[in-house]
Amino acid sequence: MASIRSSLLDLAGARNRAPSGTDTLQADEARRRGQHALTQGKRAEALDWFRQAVLLAPDSAAALRDLGRCLAEDGRPGEATAPLMAALERAPKDAETVRALGAVAQMVATRQGGVDLPRLPSVHALLEVLDNDRLDHGHFAMLCIAALRAMPGLASALAALAREGLDAAVTRLLGESAGMLRDPLLIHYLARTVNLDPDLERLLTGLRRRVLSDGLYRRNGPPPAFLAAMARQCRNNEYVWYEDEAETEAVAALAEDLAARIAANRKVGAEVSAYALYRPVETLPGAQSLGRRTPVTDAEARRLAAEALKTAAEERRLEREIPTMTPLSGAISAAVARQYEENPYPRWLSLTIPSPQWDREVDVLIAGCGTGKQAVTAGFAYGARARILAIDLSRASLAYAARMARHYGLANLRFAQADILGLEGLERSFDVIECVGVLHHMADPLEGWRVLASRLKPGGLMRIGLYSERARQPIVAGRAAIAERGIPPTEAGIRRFRRDVLAGTVPLGVLAAASSDFFALSDTRDLLFHVMEHRFTIPRIAECLATLGLEFGEFSLPRADADRLLAEVGGEPGDLEAWDEIERRHPQLFRGMYQFTCRKPEMRR
């Protein structure tokens, strides 16, 4: 207990503070004064009060949460992570702590140049995160990786990978580092996120090959729980890891053997998990019999198969139920729809639930909702009284979205297949329209934007996301390399290109660092192999807004970051010329995309 207390005092920055008059205040009073200081914009003073509260009550989740939130608002997300993780350990079900930690994790995951962490979060805290589907696990992936790399077993295997090569590293992982294959954090991380560590991917790809080629799923191999977790990881990343010809042939032979045994209702075991390391369980001929007529003796494989079959059946049913509002308009819309039918994007696994921002009836359109992460987030953010319509070209994507909306229990959200270009005749207008990451994939982005603006009520708000010409240059180089090599946008082509990038034979290693979208198949296809892509500059955005008669609002950046950047150039939040100069100085600032709000003026009487 003493070491925990010392650590928490360090978090507060107060371990060696000399006693003062404020030491006699109760923690709640210190928190109240800190919150009052925040309302007056006095963040430094608020931080002092919140540190004092943690000093007085180091086991108070509320005090730790307040300190973490204030550090985040001050533009210090790395420092904010530790107190918020500590707060979560003490109150894992507290909604405010969960939301605050989720917001900070997103800042840590996406901030340009990375974030230095004063200390690693505890394994216990990370396990709490990964057990909570009201947090976006993807935002915690790098924190999990840092914690895992600090473990001697994995560190030893990765050191062998660097010094002796892949075979030696896999042998180490199966031998003296085999305890890692039972580690709860590694198992949870693989099952509930998409891995973002290239070295760990290479190690696990080699382990997967060894399991298949040597039949280690039958005996002397990884524990069944680890094998199932690795299979879930492969499903999460849509089987993006590279496989050679020998593996492809071995998987085909395994599938043939499994199909014969299923057809004969003969028992199967961990070979189901081995197959799921390479292919979705539901693609096995006769897979519906698994666990029914065909006994599955391995409990982990049985659970794995049941999950996969249930998910696939639910999405097939939901896809049949989704209404069609408009036909597709033109060849580009059809090509984009085909891409997302083949590879719905993104295959998200969890999200951070926002607190409701609205408490009134409001009509919202999510234009180009994809697999529904934005739409489900909106379902919570706009409140239960909102009426939200989410549309997309791809029925497969919409089915994924509908399944996830049901999982999160949303009743204010409706999905439909529609083309933005077909909405002009829609007899409905909206208070809010969100269209993020969509217009730049249309044949004519301005025309799509014009149609959306025609559906926005006077005084209505738009949230738009567009690719940045400056920030997108590493991706442009990747697309050029793909075109030069004639690599097709197939699963095999994408796997081969990623292998070459990660091995360094294609000198574009920056791609892996530039985007977390490099680590799943649909993400990589959307990132680098898209059938249509436009890129924008801030002056072009200004021209579009003027053409459409829309008023710029602000870019979606953390407030402290926006204030700091605007101070560099003496600009105001709505000054697009100032933001153009800021981006010139910081060309990767909008590396995801420009995300901003704009408004349709009220009608003049």
Task: Give the pair of three-digit tokens for residue 238.
Answer: 């849509």
Per the model's pLDDT, the better-predicted residue between 263 and 515 turns out to be: 263
Q: How confident is the model over 162-175, as pLDDT tens digits? A: 999 999 999 999 99
- pLDDT interval class at 66 (50, 70, 90): very high
Whether the Cβ atoms of residue 378 and residue 353 lie closer than 8 Å to each other: no
Per the model's pLDDT, the better-predicted residue between 23 and 146 turns out to be: 146
Q: What is the pLDDT of residue 509?
A: 59
Q: What is the pLDDT of residue 85?
A: 87
- pLDDT interval class at 8 (50, 70, 90): very low
Which CATH code fits 330-470+535-599? Answer: 3.40.50.150
Q: What is the CA radius of gyration of the chain?
A: 25
Q: How far apart are CA 139 and CA 493, in angstroms?
A: 28
Q: How far apart are CA 290 and CA 272, in angstroms?
A: 9
Q: How far apart are CA 8 and CA 64, in angstroms?
A: 9
Q: What is the pLDDT of residue 215?
A: 95
Q: How far apart are CA 553 and CA 560, in angstroms?
A: 17
Of 119-123, 290-294, 334-338, 582-586, least confident by mean pLDDT is 119-123
- pLDDT interval class at 94 (50, 70, 90): confident
pLDDT > 90: percent of the chain? 75
Task: Give the pair of three-digit tokens for residue 397.
Answer: 């994507």
Residue 281 exposure: Cα atoms within 13 Å on the Cβ side: 31
Task: Give the pair of three-digit tokens for residue 163.
Answer: 């010094």
Q: What is the pLDDT of residue 585?
A: 96
Task: Give the pair of three-digit tokens for residue 396.
Answer: 């497969």
Task: Give the pair of three-digit tokens for residue 170.
Answer: 């896999």
Please name every residue paired with 103 in a beta bridge, in sequence order, or none if there are none: none
Q: How confident is the model over 282-294, as pLDDT tens digits? A: 999 999 999 899 9
Of 114-123, 262-271, 305-314, 586-595, least confident by mean pLDDT is 114-123
Q: How far apart are CA 119 and CA 81, in angstroms?
A: 9
Please name every residue paired with 555 in a beta bridge, in sequence order, or none if there are none: 596
How far lies 191's CA from each of 184, 228, 240, 404, in Å? 11, 8, 15, 17
Q: What is the pLDDT of residue 41?
A: 86
Backbone CA torsion sign across 16, 18, 24, 30: negative
- pLDDT interval class at 298 (50, 70, 90): very high
Query: In which region does residue 383 sit, left (phi positive, over 0), alpha (psi from -120 to 50) or beta (all else)?
Result: left
Q: What is the pLDDT of residue 19?
A: 36
Q: Residue 14: is its pLDDT beyond 50?
A: no
Q: How far apart are CA 464 and CA 107, in angstroms?
A: 20
Q: What value does the mean pLDDT of the chain take?
A: 91
Q: What is the pLDDT of residue 104?
A: 85
Count Cβ atoms below 10 Å from residue 429 Cβ, excluding itself.
14
Write out 170-232 in H/E/C secondary structure.
HHHHHCCCHHHHHCHHHHHHHHHCCCCCHHHHHHHHHHHHHHHHCCCCCCCCCCHHHHHHHHH
Q: How far apart are CA 421 and CA 418, in angstroms?
A: 9
Collapsed DSSP state (helix, strand, coil) of residue 71: helix
Task: Give the pair of three-digit tokens for residue 445.
Answer: 């982005």
At 171, phi and psi to the nearest 5?
Answer: -60, -40
Whether the Cβ atoms of residue 271 and residue 259 lie closer than 8 Å to each other: no
Whether the Cβ atoms of residue 541 and residue 446 lie closer than 8 Å to each other: no
In residues, how long is the chain? Answer: 605
Q: What is the pLDDT of residue 405?
A: 98
Q: What is the pLDDT of residue 316?
A: 97
Of 53-57, 237-241, 522-526, least confident by mean pLDDT is 53-57
Q: Residue 1: is its pLDDT beyond 90?
A: no
CA angle 76, 10, 19 (to 5 degrees): 115
Strands 387-392 and 413-417: parallel
How far lies 312's CA from each of 227, 283, 297, in Å? 21, 10, 22
Task: Give the pair of three-digit tokens for residue 267.
Answer: 């028992």
- pLDDT interval class at 20 (50, 70, 90): very low
Q: What is the pLDDT of residue 17?
A: 46
Q: What is the dihedral of CA 157, 163, 166, 169, to 10 degrees?
A: -20
Q: Residue 378: is its pLDDT beyond 70?
A: yes
pLDDT > 70: percent of the chain? 93
pTM tops 0.85, yes or no:
yes
- pLDDT interval class at 605 (50, 70, 90): low
Q: What is the pLDDT of residue 18?
A: 40
Q: How far apart are CA 462 and CA 517, in angstroms?
A: 25
Tokens 């200081």 sit on residue: 37
Map out the domains of the chain as residue ranges. 2-106, 151-317, 330-470+535-599, 473-528
Closest CA to 97 of 131, 134, 122, 130: 134
In 320-386, where do the E strands start and end?
363-367
Whether the Cβ atoms of residue 115 and residue 142 lie closer than 8 Å to each other: no
Beta sheet of 551-555, edge-to-edge order: 413-417, 387-392, 363-367, 430-436, 456-466, 594-599, 551-555
Q: How confident is the model over 223-240, as pLDDT tens digits? A: 999 999 999 999 999 999
| CATH superfamily name and code, 2-106 | Tetratricopeptide repeat domain (1.25.40.10)
Count Cβ atoms below 10 Å from residue 513 Cβ, excluding itself.
11
- Kindly write down the DSSP assignment for every residue of 536-587, as one continuous string: B-HHHHHHHHHHHT-EEEEE---HHHHHHHHHHHT--TT-HHHHHHHHHHST
Closest CA to 160 of 126, 192, 199, 194: 199
Give residue 95's identity as a one-letter amino acid code: A
How far lies 267's CA from each of 150, 225, 259, 313, 531, in Å? 41, 19, 11, 23, 45
- Per-position b or e across 201-217, b if 16+ CB within 10 A of its CB: bbbbbbbbbbbbeeebb
Collapsed DSSP state (helix, strand, coil) of residue 389: strand
Of 55-59, 182-186, 296-300, 433-437, least confident by mean pLDDT is 55-59
Count Cβ atoms below 10 Å from residue 604 Cβ, excluding itself.
5
Q: How confident is the model over 99-137, as pLDDT tens digits? A: 888 888 888 777 655 566 667 778 988 999 999 999 999
Q: What is the pLDDT of residue 81?
A: 87
Q: How far apart are CA 173 and CA 199, in angstroms?
A: 13
Q: How confident is the model over 426-463, as pLDDT tens digits? A: 989 999 999 999 999 999 999 999 999 999 999 999 99
- pLDDT interval class at 511 (50, 70, 90): low
Q: Residue 15: is its pLDDT beyond 70?
A: no
- pLDDT interval class at 59 (50, 70, 90): confident
Q: What is the DSSP letter of 601?
A: P
Whether the Cβ atoms of residue 27 and residue 63 lie closer than 8 Å to each other: yes
How far lies 432's CA from each of 325, 376, 378, 418, 451, in Å? 19, 15, 11, 18, 14
